[in-house]
């Protein structure tokens, strides 16, 4: 099929839940994508923070091919070697002892919510416990995940949500304290807000929430589905704050293209929350997905991915700040590690329009919130790639100068 045939066929048969760009990608190599017409693109989206290792990593692909030739699915009634290897590797990387594998980030959040509520139920045998979430957060589009997503636009058409969820201001510790009561069972937040606009949590805020949770036997759930897996410069962003969550959700780069997520819990939660019959999944933790997880974590260690992120991230930050200073419609830059954003004056230029123009210059970007141009490159990018991105972005922005 040529590009037009692909697009027209897809439009005819797919439910219209995405406003897709008129591009059909065919293959990738390194940090570059190629469409069905052969055009090359520099990828600073990585499938929304998924393809951390770039395209065509031979060790990763060989591991998946080998497992496909053996078996891809058995069900969770049985063990498998990939399940054992992935669980050992991920719990070690996260510093939390127990893991449940899911198929996606939203499912990981669902499991985290259930674990928190079951933990609270086991304390007092009541079911009216409350969760504190953050304004402008994003945790997924299933009902539980949507219920703790702090943007009414995502929720309003699907009300009622699961209930007993209150929203505090992100980086506003006093607003969290004001919502705590004897029914609060968990606080959930992203260590770096992604869809909400690339907002890293303030160290004092994270530590304050951790202290508040400890004092009241409230569980702290950190969502690192987007900001985790090395993107911040540490394996998980919370490691830079000197704290640990009680429950951690991960996905995206943990499988580097294979759909897989997970939630991890500490010993306290593991000992007094979910038991057989409380939670399950048909596909979660299947041998193919777990092979991906084990391979990704092994490659991260062998290739010192987080060290590389810490080497190139300051360079990306510098380049973006230089670009921000050069255009009156860009108000600034923010982020952590290789999760960064340029903040636009939307009265002058809409970042969504910049994304469309960038494609014509062979640059793949996405937005965050209403005013942020988001940069989520594969973690293996080089300084030369960043220079090339900057040149393509400047050519793109030139078309938006009035």
Q: What is the pLDDT of residues 37-72, one digit of tens each?
A: 999 999 999 999 999 999 999 999 999 999 999 999
What's the pLDDT at 402? 72
Question: Does the pLDDT value for residue 303 go beyond 80?
Answer: yes
Give the integer Cα–Cα distance in Å for 207 and 201: 10
CA distances for 114 relative to 23, 35, 94, 100, 120, angstroms: 39, 41, 20, 12, 10
List the one residue out of 204, 197, 194 whose CA is nearest residue 228: 194
Query: What is the tens place of the pLDDT at every residue in 223-243?
Result: 999 999 999 999 999 999 999
Cα dihedral sign, 123-125-130-131 = positive
Token pair of 12 as six digits: 């005819």
Mean pLDDT (whole number) for 369-378: 97
What is the residue whose two structure tokens read 């209403």? Answer: 370
Mean residue pLDDT across the chain: 98
User: Residue 100 — very low, low, confident or very high, per pLDDT cuts 50/70/90?
Assistant: very high
Cα dihedral sign, 95-97-102-107 = negative
> Are 82 and 294 within 8 A, CB to CB?
yes
Percent of the chain at pLDDT exceeding 90: 100
List the one residue out of 231, 257, 208 whose CA is nearest residue 28: 257
Q: Which domains does the chain have, with CATH numbers?
A: 3-56+304-398 (3.90.1150.10), 71-302 (3.40.640.10)
What's the pLDDT at 311? 98
Token pair of 315 as six digits: 């360079």
Mean pLDDT (whole number) for 264-292: 98
What's the pLDDT at 312? 98
Cα dihedral sign, 233-138-267-203 = positive
| Cα within 13 Å of Cα(143), Cβ side | 7
Alpha carbon 291 to chain centroid, angstroms: 20
CA distances for 177 relative to 112, 154, 229, angstroms: 22, 26, 30
Query: What is the tens place of the pLDDT at every residue in 138-165?
Result: 999 999 999 999 999 999 999 999 999 9
Q: Where are the beta strands (DSSP E) in 224-260?
A: 247-250
List the one residue out of 52, 93, 62, 32 whose CA is nearest residue 380: 52
What's the pLDDT at 226? 98
Give the integer Cα–Cα distance in Å for 95 and 104: 21
What phi, psi does 190 have (nearest 5°)?
-80, 140
User: Residue 286 — very low, low, confident or very high, per pLDDT cuts 50/70/90?
Assistant: very high
What's the pLDDT at 44? 98
């Amino acid at each position: 099929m040529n590009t037009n045939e692909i697009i027209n066929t897809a439009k005819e048969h797919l439910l219209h839940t995405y406003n897709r760009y008129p591009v059909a990608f065919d293959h990738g190599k390194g940090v570059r994508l190629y469409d069905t017409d052969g055009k090359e693109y520099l990828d600073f989206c990585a499938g929304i923070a998924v393809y951390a290792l770039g395209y065509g990593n031979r060790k990763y692909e060989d591991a998946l091919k080998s497992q496909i030739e053996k078996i891809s699915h058995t069900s969770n009634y049985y063990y498998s070697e990939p399940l054992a290897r992935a669980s050992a590797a991920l719990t070690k990387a996260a510093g939390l002892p127990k893991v449940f594998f899911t198929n996606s980030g939203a499912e990981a959040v669902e499991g985290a919510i259930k674990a928190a509520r079951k933990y609270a139920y086991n304390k007092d045998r009541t079911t009216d416990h409350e969760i504190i979430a953050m304004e402008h957060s994003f945790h997924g589009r299933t009902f539980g995940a949507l219920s703790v997503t702090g943007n009414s636009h995502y929720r309003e058409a699907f009300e009622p949500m699961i209930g007993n969820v209150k929203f505090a201001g992100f980086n506003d510790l006093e607003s969290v304290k004001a919502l705590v009561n004897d029914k609060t069972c968990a606080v959930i937040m992203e260590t770096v807000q992604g869809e909400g606009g690339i907002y890293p949590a303030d160290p004092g805020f994270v530590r304050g929430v951790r202290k508040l949770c400890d004092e009241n036997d409230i569980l702290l759930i950190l969502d690192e589905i987007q900001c985790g897996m090395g993107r911040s410069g540490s394996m998980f962003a919370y490691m830079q704050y000197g704290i640990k969550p009680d429950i951690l959700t991960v996905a995206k780069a943990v499988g580097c293209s294979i759909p897989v997520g997970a939630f991890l819990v500490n010993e306290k939660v593991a000992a007094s929350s979910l038991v057989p019959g409380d939670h399950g999944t048909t596909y979660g933790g299947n041998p193919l997905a777990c092979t991906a997880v084990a391979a990704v974590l092994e490659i991260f260690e062998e290739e010192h991915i987080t060290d590389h992120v810490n080497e190139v991230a300051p360079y990306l930050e510098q380049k973006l700040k230089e670009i921000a200073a050069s255009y009156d419609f860009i108000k600034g830059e923010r982020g952590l590690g290789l999760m960064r954003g340029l903040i636009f004056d939307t009265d002058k230029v809409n970042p969504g329009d910049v994304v469309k123009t960038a494609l014509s210059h062979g640059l793949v970007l996405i937005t965050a919130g209403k005013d942020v141009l988001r940069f989520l490159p594969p973690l293996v990018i080089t300084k030369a790639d960043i220079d090339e991105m900057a040149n393509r972005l400047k050519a793109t922005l030139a078309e938006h100068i009035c």
